Chains A and B, each alone.
Chain A
Amino acid sequence: DVKVTQSSRYLVKRTGEKVFLECVQDMDHENMFWYRQDPGLGLRLIYFSYDVKMKEKGDIPEGYSVSREKKERFSLILESASTNQTSMYLCASSAPLGGEHPYEQYFGPGTRLTVT
């Protein structure tokens, strides 16, 4: 069974703080993704990675960076948190043949981040 874990379910940070959100998957998936979810907007892709040390910008990368030093771990970094980054953050992983369906994404439980 694929398991994707995220370091925190709930997080409260102050404006200007540097924030790290960690994601770990245990199924040797090549692909990993970070999304943010806001009401009425669905899931929007922030960054993704197809391999170790590789990253690509998604649709809304501004204000975020990522790190993938090991295949199983993908970190999202908010360099200087702002109130408009208050959101639900979801991590996912996938592989071309990693599930029952090609590129099926497996999600972590989410981190609800509040920036005050």
Chain B
Amino acid sequence: GAGVSQSPSNKVTEKGKDVELRCDPISGHTALYWYRQSLGQGLEFLIYFQGNSAPDKSGLPSDRFSAERTGGSVSTLTIQRTQQEDSAVYLCASSFAFTEAFFGQGTRLTVV
């Protein structure tokens, strides 16, 4: 596709349920990032994949959060046992090698 695609664009889930958020990066981009944007915390780095290297998971807030990137392309961010404080916009970005990152439009997650 022409840009980074994220799905779903909106997700409402009940507290305690698991959710999966998907990111399709720009074709050929080697790096993929997940960020979380919330009112109280601004833009927080979550996880970073670069090629075949081990991902940088230093931003994941708890062990309920995990992400994988299959085949060096599509990525899925999984949040287990969702809590209300997980409500936020989750942004994905990709870049080619060491160039600037391009962002998707985000998934708005609401935990009720």
State yes or no: do A and B come from one complex.
Answer: no
Question: A-contacting residues of B (Cβ < 8 Å)?
Answer: none
